[in-house]
Amino acid sequence: MKINFCSLFISKEEKNLQSYIKNTFGVNPNNLLLYKQAFIHKSIINDEKNKDNNERLEYLGDAVLNAIIAEFLYKKYPFASEGFLNELQARIVNANQLNKLSRKIGLDLFIKTNGCDLKICESIIGDVFEAFIGAVYLDKGYESVKKIIIEKIINIYLDIELIAKINTNYKGKLLAWSQKVKNKVEYKISKEISNKNRKQYIVQLFIEEQFVSEGCDYSIKAAEQHAAMLGCEILEL
């Protein structure tokens, strides 16, 4: 009987991650350390074992994801204009969409942070999605990650036709509603979080001076859009 001695030294946490990747995406990781790194947020800086965070993988995954989505849309809409393709791609890979996908797929369950509230700073969850794509790309190559994105994510979790029709300008939608019902809408920056070279903004939405929701992102405008999106959901707009 052949014994895989490497498997004898894998931790329970690593076994759970390995099993999750196999069951969810249909691939066996070759380098599990890459996938573990994809879930380590930069807030963890004191633990020597976690000195490598997911920022570089996020950068790579963002580029790979955009390339795959661009090719997918180019083939799906052979007669569409460049403007249409750009707008639709932006809707698919925006922070809010990636946050939702991460939660649906279960990536958020493996995230490691130093006390960050994922309910507030949801952008961390979307960043992990991109970092995970980067890890798959390095471990399995372009064709494998492309297959995963199309077959395991787009075909299961995304209605591309519906996304193309939906108005994603939540601030505009909320403004139109407020003008109709004559309610005052305000966005206020409640907190700024500095992490090395990047800053996150937490913006709160108030209607008639009553708190409604709050959003978090790396720019004030994006954080306002996030707060507006949650506000639209609460108001059922």
Q: List the catalytic residues.
A: 62, 130
Q: How far apart are CA 147 and CA 133, in angstroms?
A: 11
Q: How far apart are CA 92 and CA 170, in angstroms?
A: 15
Spatial neighbors of 118 by CB under 8 A, at least 6 apart, are: 108, 111, 124, 125
Angle at alpha carbon of residue 216, lines to 214 and 218, rounded to 5° = 150
How many angstroms separate the Cα of 96 from the Cα of each of 125, 169, 203, 216, 226?
A: 10, 12, 15, 10, 7
Amino acid type, 30: N
Amino acid type, 31: N
By residue count, the chain amounts to 237
Contacts 24+ apart (CB under 8 A), 106-114: 106/20, 106/24, 107/39, 107/132, 110/17, 110/20, 110/39, 111/39, 111/41, 112/39, 112/40, 112/41, 112/44, 112/50, 113/41, 113/43, 113/44, 114/41, 114/43, 114/44, 114/45, 114/46
| Bridge partners (DSSP) listed for residue 165 | none
